[in-house]
Amino acid sequence: MKKILFALFLVIIDQLSKFLITNKSIEIFRGFSLKFVTNTGAAFSLFQGFNLVLVLISLIVIVYLFLQLRKEKNQIRVWSFIFIIAGALGNLIDRVIFGHVRDFILVWIWPTFNLADSFITIGALLLLYSLFSK
């Protein structure tokens, strides 16, 4: 239960960060800015304009990982699922409410992303680590 609450905390932080930066552009230092952009696609702006498909995929991933979470014993994998669920849920909320994802973190030449994307990346890295660290 505490891990689910942590996931919800991550979703709240993601949504709050997107709310606070909406329609703003702030250069923190050269190569790192907060610049509000909208993304109708997925990671790296792939699949632009397929919002309904991305909503359905997000729902499937969230439900599947939640079901896996209930029976998973490996704690690293459990945490990977928590981070991926939180990130997917944060971006799903955007897709359903706004029809796009709100991105705002711009690092040098990397595509603009948000905290939810970071959570998904952390979860994916933890999952890879758990699979290859036997």
Residues serving a catalytic function are 103, 117
Neighbour-count burial of 36, counting CB atoms closer than 10 A to its CB (0-12 exposed, 13-18 middle, 19+ buried):
middle
**φ, ψ (nearest 5 deg) of residue 84:** -65, -45
H/E element, 82: helix 75-98
Tokens of 4: 């689910």
